[in-house]
A and B are shown apart, each in its own frame.
Chain A
Amino acid sequence: MGSLILSLAITAGFILLGYFVGDARERKHLADLDRREAAAAGVTVVDVKRIPPGFAAGGGSLVMGEVVIATDYFKSFMAMLRNIVGGEVKTYQILLSRARREAKLRMIEEARALGADLVVNVRFEWSNVGPKIVSTEIFCYGTAITSTPV
């Protein structure tokens, strides 16, 4: 009986930790993404292979961005509850969108460092080689178009 109460107390503690700390960390990351996306607005990103009209192409270079993000205990607990009744798992939707935005931003930042203002043929990939926890691995890549060969 005592050990059951203890394990319930630990689980409740983890849920509270996830709720308060996890939520604050997520909001901080989202604010950071908003700020960096505004700064990266000058770079055009497309998933078509050809160069859009109005851009001069003198060369190209592969640019990549990658991120592995874990969710918090509260959100995995909520997703577990959601599994019982079905429906959209909003907490994981935010997790995946954060990972895609972060990976894409890292790719754009690499393109900007090369002096490019256009990235074509952008692809997103997902891998599953990391730890066996609730996390997501997103890889984003494309070809940064430069006015001269890199």
Chain B
Amino acid sequence: MIIVNTETVPGMDITAFHGLVQGNTIRAKHVGRDIGAALKNLVGGELRAYTELLTDARKQALERMIAEAEGMGANAVVNVRFTTSSVAGGAAELYAYGTAVTVA
């Protein structure tokens, strides 16, 4: 499965469009992460627990999007976009979407 955020796959031709595919996940943070973050706010620096949380969630949203594209018989997803939103209760949503296509 080829995943790109350009409108075509460079060097290849799109032979069929299958439609919009999407994937999302909503992650809750746990209290320990917020305590760690409050301590890190004293000395500054990367909040690795949060970076990991966002990266893992983004990967899962992408995997769900890819699974939908595979179900349509596509071999690529083009023009991929990401959005995040904050849901009540401190949970974070990661959303990935794109257009499933067949390239050759």
Contact = CB atoms under 8 A, between A and B. Distances in A.
A59 B11 contact: yes
A37 interface: no
A18 B93 CA distance: 32
A149 B104 CA distance: 10
A62 interface: yes
B99 to A, nearest CB: 13
Nearest to B51: A68
B10 A51 contact: yes
A129 B54 contact: yes
Interface in B1-56: 2-7, 9-12, 29, 33-34, 37-38, 40-47, 50-51, 54-55
Contacts of A96: none
Given A25-B44, A70-B44, A139-B82, A57 B11 contact: yes
A27 B29 CA distance: 30
Contacts, number: 138
A29 interface: yes
A143 B41 contact: no
Interface in A92-148: 102, 120-121, 123, 125, 127-131, 133-135, 137, 139, 141-143, 145
B74 interface: no
A72 B2 contact: no
Contacts of A26: 44
A32 B72 CA distance: 44
Contact of A17 (B9, B43, B46): B43
A150 interface: yes
Nearest to A21: B43
Interface of A: 14, 17-18, 21-22, 25-26, 29, 49, 51, 56-62, 64, 66-73, 75-76, 102, 120-121, 123, 125, 127-131, 133-135, 137, 139, 141-143, 145, 149-150
24 contacts: A14-B42, A18-B44, A25-B43, A25-B44, A29-B45, A57-B10, A60-B6, A60-B11, A68-B46, A70-B45, A70-B46, A72-B41, A123-B5, A129-B54, A129-B84, A129-B85, A129-B93, A130-B29, A130-B47, A131-B37, A134-B41, A139-B84, A142-B5, A145-B10
Interface of B: 2-7, 9-12, 29, 33-34, 37-38, 40-47, 50-51, 54-55, 58, 62, 80, 82, 84-86, 92-93
